[in-house]
Amino acid sequence: MHRNRLSVSFLPALLFGALQLFLEPAAGAAEQIRAAMSAPQPEAWWTERHERTVARIRQGHVDLLFIGDSITQGWEEDGGPVWNAFYQHRHAANLGYNGDQTDNVLWRLQNGELDGITPKLAVVMIGTNNATRREDPPEETAAGIQAILRTLRTRLPDTKILLLAVFPRGFSADDRLRRVNQAVNEQLPAFADERQVFFLNLNRRFLDDNGRLPEEMMPDALHPGERGYRVWAEGMEDTIKKLMGE
């Protein structure tokens, strides 16, 4: 009787210990793939931009999406003239946000920016901020990109997806952050099934023969200038025509 009571008294502790063993690996795994866990940016401007984007999406008539960070947002600035020439007539919507990492994009796509639309094509280019803001390892950034693709495929099953290699950054070929982006890019072709998801690497178009990034392409070695946006648009024009059925 005494031994039985003692065993019963230890049962809650044993159960708690087993529960800890069960939960701790999951928590550790979640910590390792933060890039794939949706999260908004906290700044007010970001929330306001998201609200404006959702309002635009609710208007409908969206055939082409551009999804990304400040490089994509820049179609509204230095890239404006090129955007007007290549994409305005295609009823394009710009889902680029300054500073976004993969988890921020994921949150936006899950919170209204895809609702009620069936675009023909979504162009995705994201990941360079993961290398700097949180210093995510390349495999974690790639996991975040894969989570974005999964969300797009689930929510927009009839939309083609053009996944772009993360653009080069840094003026020199041996720039540390450029090498991080290259390591991400090496993993991206495997995500393309050539039925709904397609991969395109435009990076050589921005570089000279020595692998340097000219200032006329990207004045700050990160964001395209107007010429850079034109090179971007011209480089994927044939692919866009094909995927949009033009």
- Please report which helix (H) or strand (E) contains residue 230, including its range: helix 226-243
Scanning 168-225, the segments in alpha helix (DSSP H) are 176-185
Active site residue 38: no
Catalytic residue among 69, 78, 223, 238: 223
7 catalytic residue (yes or no): no
Work out whether the CA dihedral 10, 15, 16, 20 comes out positive or negative: positive
Is 209 catalytic? The answer is no
Selected catalytic residue, list 50, 61, 70, 89: 70
DSSP class per residue in 54-68: HHHHHT----EEEEE
The answer to whether the beta carbons of residues 180 and 188 sit under 8 Å apart is no
Give CA–CA dist 31/128, Å, rounded.
20
Q: Which residues contact 178 (CB under 8 A, 6 or more apart)?
A: 168, 169, 170, 172
> Minimal CA–CA distance to 157: which of 125, 193, 131, 120?
120
Distance of alpha carbon 244 from alpha carbon 225, whole angstroms: 26
Cα 84 to Cα 76: distance, rounded to the nearest angstrom: 9
Q: Which of 91, 136, 220, 238 is catalytic?
A: 220
Catalytic residue numbers read 70, 220, 223
